[in-house]
Structure 1
Amino acid sequence: MTTDEEVGLRERKKQRMYQAISEAAITLFLEKGFEKVPVAEVAAAAQISKPTLFRYFPTKEDLVLHRFADHLDEAARVVTARPAKRSPLDALQRHFLDGLERRDPVTGLCDNVHVLAFHRLLYGTPSLVARLYGYQEQSEKVLGEALSEAAAGLPDAEASDAGARATEAPALTARLAAGQIVAVQRILALENWRRIDAGESAEAVWPNAVVTANRAFGQLRSGLTRYA
């Protein structure tokens, strides 16, 4: 009979394998370029077979995007775990601002040389950018589900709109909101990265990044009243 400890051990071993393969791949991609490194070379560097590699990573792009895997449900987790009296948008805004303050690479506001090299690889490779949109679509989906659940316990700011409640599809409304939120966070992060990639320091960009983030969430709040 399999114990919880054994299951946990297998899961940790699996995650270590994911990490080791991904890091081996990224090292090669940074050294030679994404397009110039075949999957077979990555497998050899990770000391596994090519079929084994594909069992862990269905596509070559996933070897790089694995670093984003832990962030797929991050926004959804923020909404779900927020304090009872804090709205979803307030929680997401606070989380993004906290990320800016600690120079979280996900916010784009990080001038660590290794992070910059990774971002240049990512944004400089069209197939990786395309795959990144797929990851963001998954983030939108789970965030939409979290917003839909959160809306059930929130005051309905749109109730005064004549006929709105009769025609609205709640799940679609939440998914549309999630798409806007994820897009805003993506654009903010990309703008921060572009400025740092152009030579500015994270410390120099930070004050304006905070102002811009607050303005962006203000725009969201004016349109997404149900979640504000």
Structure 2
Amino acid sequence: MEQRSGLRERKKNAMWGRLKATALQMFEERGYENVSVAEIAAAAEVSKATVFNYFPSKEDLVIGGMKHHIEDPARTVRERPLGQTPHAALRDRYLDLLEHRAPQTGLSDKPLFLQVQRLIQATPSLLISAMDYRRRSSVLLAQELIEEGNPPLTSRLVASQLLHTQHILVEVNVHHVLEGRPVDEVYSQAVSAAFHAFGLLETGIGDLMRRDTDPPAADAAFAPDGCRVGYEPGRAEAEAVLERFAGEAGDEIIEALADPGRA
């Protein structure tokens, strides 16, 4: 029975890897938005239903693994030892993951990881989904802090600062790795960056970057409320649409709307 179970598990893992590799290759060649699940199934010589058995959505073929780490920060903080702050717990956990070159730190040169990162950066919809996973992780961390008896606002601020700081560190690591720098070379820099970033959280930004020169003159193109002078919400977009349609011959109504003087 154990041998049969082991065989089934190996077959499942093999199929999972086959589908993911096929999808990533097609996405890289043609663009994520230009490949359908049906086409992936055909290329892998399986049914569309089989693909969905392993990956609930097309998006999961690329970033589904992120779902498994949404609860990591909250769990790390919940299980921290007596006397340790959330800040120290997440810092130590991040440094440990860095040492092991864990993909969630951005410090990995595995081909699959690099493919996924390139696709995320090239595909706005995937980038938005990845950002939402991070948002959900922050919400869970804040809830954990609130359940410990901390004020809701403070909990949300702390959770957001901690996880956004870690996100920037990961983003820098990914950038270096995609540039082709060896991960072992990036590692020491990543550790230094982590101590610097978490150190800022620990001590506060205080007088850091206080201006010591006169500021430039105010930009006359912007009003005091921050909007561009003369800007009317939606007008530029509407004019662009009208101009595009007016360029099509034979539509006198659209042409009149685009140029009211002709009416």
TM-score of the pair, normalised by structure 1: 0.73
* Distance in structure 2 (CA, Å) of the matches to 1:71 and 1:28: 26
| 2:164 counterpart residue number | 183
Please state how far the C-alpha of 1:29 moved relative to its aligned partner: 2.3
Please state how far the C-alpha of 1:28 moved relative to its aligned partner: 3.5
Please state how far the C-alpha of 1:207 moved relative to its aligned partner: 1.0
Label 1:179 to 1:19 Cα distance change in 2 as closer, same or farther (>3 A): farther
> Does residue 222 of the first structure (1) align with residue 203 of the second (2)?
yes
> Does residue 57 of the first structure (1) align with residue 56 of the second (2)?
yes
| 1:113 counterpart residue number | 111
1:163-194: per-residue Cα shift (whole Å, max 9, x none)?
xxxxxxx2222122111111111110010111
Please state how far the C-alpha of 1:81 moved relative to its aligned partner: 1.1
* Distance in structure 2 (CA, Å) of the matches to 1:211 and 1:46: 47
1:17-36: per-residue Cα shift (whole Å, max 9, x none)?
x9566565335324543122
2:110 partner letter:
N
Correspondent of 1:204 among 162, 181, 185:
185
Look up the SS of the partner of 1:65 in the other structure.
helix
- The size of the alignment, in residue pairs, is 193
**What is the RMSD computed on CA atoms of the aligned residues?**
2.9
* Distance in structure 2 (CA, Å) of the matches to 1:51 and 1:191: 37
The 10-residue stretch of structure 1 (28-37 or 78-87) with the greater mean CA deviation from structure 2: 28-37
Correspondent of 1:194 among 171, 175, 190:
175
Superposition pairs for residues 89-108 of structure 1, below 5 Å?
89-108=87-106
Asked if structure 2 preserves the Cα contact closer than 8 Å seen for 1:22 and 1:66, the reply is no
Asked if structure 2 preserves the Cα contact closer than 8 Å seen for 1:29 and 1:37, the reply is yes
Larger radius of gyration: 2
Larger RCO of the pair (alpha carbons < 8 Å, separation 6+): 1
* Distance in structure 1 (CA, Å) of the matches to 2:143 and 2:156: 7
Please state how far the C-alpha of 1:51 moved relative to its aligned partner: 11
1:128-178: per-residue Cα shift (whole Å, max 9, x none)?
1011111111101101111223455xxxxxxxxxxxxxxxxx222212211
Look up the SS of the partner of 2:101 in the other structure.
coil
Percentage of pairs with the same residue: 36
| 1:139 counterpart residue number | 137
TM-score of the pair, normalised by structure 2: 0.64
Instruction: Give unmatched runs, 5+ long, in structure 2.
Output: 1-8, 206-263
Look up the SS of the partner of 1:47 in the other structure.
coil
| 2:249 counterpart residue number | none
| 2:68 counterpart residue number | 70
* Distance in structure 2 (CA, Å) of the matches to 1:99 and 1:206: 11
Label 1:171 to 1:55 Cα distance change in 2 as closer, same or farther (>3 A): farther
Label 1:55 to 1:207 Cα distance change in 2 as closer, same or farther (>3 A): closer
* Distance in structure 2 (CA, Å) of the matches to 1:95 and 1:212: 15
